[in-house]
A and B are shown apart, each in its own frame.
Chain A
Amino acid sequence: MSNGGPPYPRFRFWADHNKALEKQKCFSWSFHAVTHLQLLSTNSRRKPSLSLPFRLDTEAFVSIIPEEWVIGPYQLGPFLKTLSKDHIPFQTAAGDGNGRMAPNVLVSFTDAPAHTFLCDFLISPNLNKRGYGLFSIRDILRHFSIRTEGTYFPDKYDDPFRFPELVLHPWNVAEGVRYRCSCPHEVQGKKGLKMRCEDCNQEFNQI
């Protein structure tokens, strides 16, 4: 019954129940978006890193990795080509900190390993003990367009019941040609496709 591996990387939304919010008669759920990355090495003999959980942070000016991942059991050191000597300050939605930069790290999403890209990471002790890194919107928009699959549905008590997913489509993929019919529905596919929409019975035209 499993849907198997999706072809594109994605963020999934999760809800956390918060008693403090409930006590204040607020909407008692908070949401966060999660994905998983693997760091890759240019050395073909080295396996990818373990799957690393990341949360989307639209405030983080770059993506951030906990320092304990570099020096602790995850052993990410070999995947970071260079590490800056200077510490630079940063700000996220959850607070401030500082850390060193590891530029141009080769990365893929665990559930879509075919899509590799370069990502700059800030290595910071401020994220230690959290267990997850922060993925910046900068690194999404540089490499991917964002689409939504599904929608948010609360149940009749306004509790979260169904969530959409953010699906990331790489820019400049070989099949990245868009077509539109007169409805208008839009689809993406290889160049030169002949398709007809079953709703309007018109051919899709490349746009």
Chain B
Amino acid sequence: MNLRRKKEEEKLRRQKEEEKLDRGIELLLHRGRTAYSNPEVWLEFREQMRLTVLYPGRWVAFRDHFEGEGVSRRLLRREVLRSARSAFAVSKYLASLPEKEQRGVFIDFVEPR
């Protein structure tokens, strides 16, 4: 019961985060989904904006998920693993992951707006 409730809460949290991302892009750039005729372009642009909109002033550890290669490589999803006010906290989290899981994870500071 607890596990199901946790999953539901997590699902709700993610949904709210996605809504916050859409609102944040609208506020920052004064446009949203309807400005892009190609939904794939909108989705990729939206993932590029995820850190800028949702994590200003924070250090973030994340992993990008792509489709395709070279010039046609497309960002499908920017998976945020951990965020914190200090780079040390995020680095420490990264070090706690198995070595294989550390590959492809980037840490960066998102400038405050």
Residues of A within 8 A of B (CB): 1-6, 12, 14-19, 34, 36, 50-53, 72-74, 110-111, 131-132, 149-151, 155, 157, 159-162
Contact = CB atoms under 8 A, between A and B. Distances in A.
A17 B52 contact: yes
Contacts of B77: 1
Interface of B: 28-29, 31, 35-36, 41, 44-45, 48, 51-52, 59, 63-67, 70-71, 73-77, 79, 86-88, 91-92, 94-95, 100, 102-111, 113
A150 B103 contact: no
Contacts of B71: 150-151
Contact of B29 (A50, A72, A132, A157): A157
A74 B88 contact: yes
Contacts of A15: 48, 52
B95 A50 contact: yes
B94 A19 contact: no
Contacts of A73: 88
Given A19-B113, A149-B70, A159 B29 contact: yes
Contacts of B73: 149-150, 162
Nearest to A163: B48
B94 A50 contact: yes
A50 B45 contact: no
11 contacts: A3-B65, A4-B104, A6-B103, A16-B52, A19-B113, A36-B107, A53-B87, A132-B109, A150-B70, A151-B71, A162-B73
Nearest to A1: B65
B27 to A, nearest CB: 11
Contact of B44 (A2, A3, A4, A162): A162
Given A15-B52, A50-B94, A51-B95, A131 B87 contact: yes
Nearest to B79: A2
Contact of A53 (B29, B64, B102, B109): B109
A160 B92 CA distance: 31
B108 to A, nearest CB: 5
Contact of B91 (A2, A3, A51): A51
B104 A51 contact: no
Q: Nearest 4 CB-CB pairs, A to B? A: A5-B103, A131-B87, A50-B91, A16-B111
Given A17-B28, A159-B29, A12 B106 contact: yes
